[in-house]
Chain A
Amino acid sequence: MTTLEDPVRTAKEAIRYCYEQGWTDGLPVVPATVDDVEAFLATTDRDPDEVIGAQEHLNRRVTVRQAAVNAIMAGCEPEYFPVVLAAWDALNGEPSTNGGAWQSTSGPAPLLVVNGPVRQRLGINCAGGVFGPGFRANATIARAIGLIVRNGYGIKPQELEQATQGVPGRWQLLIGENEELSPWEPLSVVGGLEPGVDAVSAMLIRCCEYVDNRHTESAEAVLQDFADSLARIGAYLGLRHSTGGLVLGPEHAALLADAGYGRADVQQWLFEHATRSHAELAAAGKAGGPGGPAETDEAFPMLPSPAEIPVIVAGAANAAISMVFRPFGWATWSGRSVPVRWSAQSRPTTLQEVSP
């Protein structure tokens, strides 16, 4: 074999070609062929020409086929594609994605949460290192969404996308919920679906902040620790309340559940305790303007309502660590999960559904 015929060399040149076209997010992509696209399209009953997203102001419309091309490029396997479509639909169903979010200076990142047996079937991580990297399905499905926005909508950084700094983990945040270690019903059940249904829930977020509390057996002390991060002034935008959510590590979730807290109780407690005084907001220059605290306010709620504080359980049960996250703008989770739908011939068999 001559150097020219070396398939590795050819593969590298194909990747370089994709860079030259401006099709990548900075990392190498898998070049898509027509055969690949057919394999992806076979996993869904949807019309390849169905328009699944539009930015009318940019004159751009994304189709199922185009989503498949970008999912291939992101490194997905064909069987991931129905999850990509569900994730895309879930995002499009969120009011937060319909107001210029993809072009925003905030540079928000999708947080995609997967429930159901699809997690085991596709190897979607919901346990240790859940925020990644290291797991193909998590990494590539999340990345596919970013490539669809880039190549489908034509929204690229420093052009139509005007993120000031962006958000670490953008296009990388797909997590499975650790249903096996969660004391509560799956997020997708909160999102209106039956237990055991494969589903994706989506929101746009601006950051994740860890809360490390291995210091106490008191549920209220741990909740107070969360409330402190949730009430962070830097995340306060004024006008209306922006919100926060929790990805609880299984240890924190168990501690709260053992103390008798359901998900709604946790939300209620956090809403009541994530507060700031007028003086504290004033010291940061943020007390003025409509929707802000009265001068006498000692406990101004920093979150809009208990129901608007999403609570998810994910990660390993090896340390009492959780993550606070921040929905974009004044948005929260819509409370609607989207089921994953396979085509008849690609529907996984019972045998495949057994956890590895």
Chain B
Amino acid sequence: MFDSIVDPTVGAPGDDRGRTSLATRPARLSGLRLGLLVNTKRNAADFLEELSALLESEYGVTTVLTRTKPSIVHPAPPEMLEEFRGETDVVVVGVGDCGSCSASAVADGLQLEAAGIPAAVICSDAFRVSADAMADLQGTPGYEYVTTAHPVASLSREGVRERAVQALPQIVGMLTRSSAAVAS
């Protein structure tokens, strides 16, 4: 009956973004090169540093590349992605703990997977909705990431370390699970 009403959501066509297949997972992390993608949020660098120390001491990885994104809202630029592709075997991304950066962290995880690099993305639980919305927008609904309790920004270094310890098993699972870390 209301076919004559113009749809306000129709603009210039977007890119066709099909479902991203996840990269093949290694059986174990020992001996692999770890990359860290920091998103500039307060405590993000500390969180990834703590994780990296745990992954090195308990799982035998070597952290070879740490990069901080130039923009909190946009996914990492192509040249940064290229660095990860050339120098790392697995990457941890985080910490999505704000309105735009949680969604952006998911976009980063997906573009790393598309480049063939297994990635684990960390978001705080307060921003699940925007992170999931981004996975939908990127054509990959159901994309899994690791959550940590919000807030992250106000934690002390000790608090950050505890969170890293808590997140570690999930991170390891996500980077090695052969069944792939995405629900169908």
Residues of A within 8 A of B (CB): 13-14, 17-18, 21, 23, 31-34, 36-37, 49, 51, 56-63, 66, 69-70, 72-73, 99-100, 103-106, 147, 151-152, 154, 158-163
Contacts and interface: CB of A to CB of B under 8 A. Distances in A.
A51 B130 contact: no
B4 A34 contact: yes
Contact of A151 (B9, B104, B129): B9
Contacts of A33: 4-6
Given A99-B73, A159-B133, A161-B99, A49 B8 contact: no
Given A34-B6, A61-B11, A105 B107 contact: no
A99 B8 contact: no
A214 B121 CA distance: 56
B74 A57 contact: yes
28 contacts: A14-B2, A17-B2, A34-B4, A36-B6, A37-B6, A57-B74, A57-B75, A57-B104, A58-B137, A59-B14, A59-B137, A59-B138, A60-B11, A61-B11, A61-B12, A62-B11, A66-B11, A69-B6, A72-B6, A73-B8, A100-B73, A103-B100, A104-B98, A104-B99, A154-B9, A158-B129, A159-B130, A162-B100
B5 A18 contact: yes
A62 B9 CA distance: 9
B101 interface: yes
A51 B5 contact: no
Interface string B1-32: 11011111111111101000000000000000
A158 B126 CA distance: 11
Nearest to B2: A17
A63 B11 CA distance: 6
A138 B7 CA distance: 24
A23 B8 CA distance: 7
Contacts of A14: 2, 5
A167 B34 CA distance: 42
Contacts of A49: 12
A66 B6 CA distance: 9
A85 B4 CA distance: 24
A62 B102 CA distance: 23
Nearest to A164: B99
B69 to A, nearest CB: 12
Contacts of A69: 6-8
Contacts of B15: 59
Given A31-B2, A31-B5, 5 more contacts: A57-B75, A57-B107, A66-B10, A152-B11, A154-B137
Contacts of A56: 74
B137 A162 contact: no
A3 B75 CA distance: 54
Q: Which are the 5 A-B pairs with shortest beta-carbon distances?
A: A100-B100, A100-B73, A162-B99, A59-B14, A61-B12
A164 to B, nearest CB: 9
Given A100-B101, A105-B98, A147 B8 contact: yes
A104 B72 CA distance: 11
A63 B137 CA distance: 19
Q: Of residues B8, B10, B12, which shows the largest number of chain A Cβ atoms within 10 Å of its Cβ?
A: B8
A69 B11 CA distance: 10
A58 B17 CA distance: 11
Contacts of B17: 59
Contacts of B2: 13-14, 17, 31
A147 B75 CA distance: 26
Contact of B6 (A32, A51, A62, A147): A32
Contact of B99 (A32, A36, A58, A163): A163
B9 A152 contact: yes
A150 to B, nearest CB: 8
A32 B137 contact: no
Contacts of B134: 58, 160
Nearest to A68: B6
Nearest to B12: A61
A73 B6 CA distance: 10
B110 to A, nearest CB: 11
Contacts of B47: none
Contacts of B4: 33-34
A73 B104 CA distance: 30
Nearest to A23: B8
A191 B122 CA distance: 43
Contact of A160 (B7, B13, B130): B130
A280 to B, nearest CB: 21
A51 B12 contact: yes
A119 to B, nearest CB: 27
B44 interface: no
